[in-house]
Amino acid sequence: MIQTKTIRTRFAPSPTGFVHIGGLRTALFAFLFARSKHGTNLLRIEDTDQNRLVEGSLENMLSVFQTMGIEFDEGPYVENGKIKQKGEYGPYIQSERKEQGLYQKYAEQLVAEKKAYYCFCSEERLDEMRKEQVALKKPPMYDRRCRNLTADDIQKQLADFNLAGKNPVIRFAIPLEGSTVIHDLIYGDITYENKILDDQIILKADGFPTYHLAVVVDDHFMEISHVIRGEEWIPSTPKHLLIYEALGWQPTEFAHLPLIVNPDKTKLSKRQGDVAVEDYLKAGYSPEVLINFIVMLGWNPKTEQEIFSLQQLIEQFDLAKVNKSNAVLDKNKLDWISGQYIKTKTGKEIAELLKPFWQEAGIKVAKFSEEYLKAIAALEKERLKKLSEIGERTKYFFEAPDYDASLLIWKKSDKEKTKQALSDLVILFENMDLSAFAKATADDPLHFVSVTAETIEKWVKKMIADKNYDNGSVLWPLRVSLTGLDKSPGPFEVAATLALALGKEEIIKRLNTAVVKLG
Partner RNA sequence: GGCGCUAUCAUCUAAUGGUUAGGAUAAGUGGUUUUCAUCCACUAAAUCGGGGUUCGAUUCCCCGUAGCGCUACCA
Looking at the annotation, which residues are catalytic? Answer: 270
Specify the residue, 40 or 237, whose C-beta has the smaller distance to RNA: 237
Query: What does residue 315 show for φ and ψ, rounded to 5 degrees?
Result: -70, -35
The three-state secondary structure class of 415 is helix
Specify the residue, 123 or 404, whose C-beta has the smaller distance to RNA: 123
User: What is the smallest separation between the CB atom of 5 and RNA, expressed in angstroms?
Assistant: 25
Specify the residue, 46 or 424, whose C-beta has the smaller distance to RNA: 46
Q: Residue 292: CA atoms inside 13 Å, Cβ hemisphere, count?
A: 21
User: What is the smallest separation between the CB atom of 264 and RNA, expressed in angstroms?
Assistant: 7
- Look up residue 78 and give its DSSP letter: E
Specify the residue, 168 or 251, whose C-beta has the smaller distance to RNA: 168
Interior CA angle at 357 toward 446 and 272, to 5°? 130
Specify the residue, 244 or 336, whose C-beta has the smaller distance to RNA: 336
**DSSP sequence for 424-462:** HHHHHHHT---HHHHHHTTT-HHHHHHHHHHHHHHHHHH
**DSSP sequence for 214-260:** HHHHHHHHTT--EEEEEGGGGGGHHHHHHHHHHHT-PPPEEEEEPPE
User: What is the smallest separation between the CB atom of 178 and RNA, expressed in angstroms?
Assistant: 14
Nearest to 46, CA basis, from 89, 97, 9, 88: 97
**DSSP sequence for 269-295:** -GGGS--BHHHHHHHT--HHHHHHHHH
User: What is the smallest separation between the CB atom of 81 and RNA, expressed in angstroms?
Assistant: 26
User: What is the smallest separation between the CB atom of 410 and RNA, expressed in angstroms?
Assistant: 6
- Report the alpha-carbon distance of residue 39 to residue 462 in Å, rounded: 66
Specify the residue, 230 or 287, whose C-beta has the smaller distance to RNA: 230
Residues contacting residue 126 through CB under 8 Å, at least 6 positions apart: 142
Specify the residue, 5 or 324, whose C-beta has the smaller distance to RNA: 324
User: What is the smallest separation between the CB atom of 222 and RNA, expressed in angstroms?
Assistant: 15
- Report the alpha-carbon distance of residue 453 to residue 493 in Å, rounded: 5
User: What is the smallest separation between the CB atom of 180 and RNA, expressed in angstroms?
Assistant: 11
SS3 sequence of 140-206: CCCCCHHHHCCHHHHHHHHHHHHHCCCCCEEEECCCCCCEEEEEECCCEEEEEEHHHCCCCEEECCC
